[in-house]
Amino acid sequence: MKKTRQQQDATRRQIVASAVDLMTRHGFDGTTMKDIARAAGIGDATIYKYFPTKDRIVVGYLDDTVQQALDDALQTPGFDGYALQEKLQRLTDAVLERLLADREFVAQVRGLAQRSPLSMLAEPLAARQRLREVVMGFLEAAETSGEIEPCDFKGAAGSLYTDYLAGVVTYWLGDTSDEFADTTQLVDLSLGVLVQMLRSGLVQRVLELGGFVLRSQMARMAHHRSSLLGLLQLARHTLGTVPPSAPRSSPPSASSPPAAPRPARAARAKAAPAATPAPARKPRKSAP
Band the pLDDT of 230: cuts 50, 70, 90: low
Residue-wise over 111-136: b if at least 16 C-beta within 10 A, else e? ebbeeeeebbeeeebebbeebbebbb
The pLDDT tens digits for 190-220 are 999 889 888 877 665 555 555 445 545 555 5
- Cα angle 7, 11, 13 (rounded to 5 degrees) comes to 115
Which of 65-69, 236-240, 277-281 bottoms out in mean pLDDT, i.e. has the lowest? 277-281
pLDDT of residue 207: 55
The percentage of residues in the chain with a pLDDT greater than 90, rounded to a whole number, is 52
pLDDT of residue 16: 97
Secondary structure of the chain as H, E, C letters: CCCCHHHHHHHHHHHHHHHHHHHHHHCCCCCCHHHHHHHHCCCCCHHHHCCCCHHHHHHHHHHHHHHHHHHHHHCCCCHHHCCHHHHHHHHHHHHHHHHHCCHHHHHHHHHHHHHCHHHHHCCCCHHHHHHHHHHHHHHHHHHHHCCCCCCCCHHHHHHHHHHHHHHHHHHHHCCCCHHHHHHHHHHHHHHHHHHHHHHHCCHHHHHHHHCHHHHHHHHHHHCCHHHHHHHHHHHHHHHHCCCCCCCCCCCCCCCCCCCCCCCCCHHHCCCCCCCCCCCCCCCCCCCC
Cα separation, 145 vs 248, whole angstroms: 10
* Mean pLDDT score of the chain: 79
Query: Is the entire prediction scored with pTM above 0.75?
Result: no
The pLDDT tens digits for 96-130 are 999 999 999 999 998 887 776 655 555 567 888 99
The pLDDT tens digits for 7-59 are 999 999 999 999 999 999 999 999 999 999 999 999 999 999 999 999 999 99
Q: Residue 93 pLDDT > 70, yes or no? A: yes
pLDDT of residue 287: 44
- Which of 217, 237, 238 has its CA nearest to residue 228? 217
Name the residue type at position 20: V
Band the pLDDT of 155: cuts 50, 70, 90: confident
Task: Look at 111 and 222; give whichever has higher pLDDT.
Answer: 111
Which of 158-162, 174-178, 217-221 bottoms out in mean pLDDT, i.e. has the lowest? 217-221
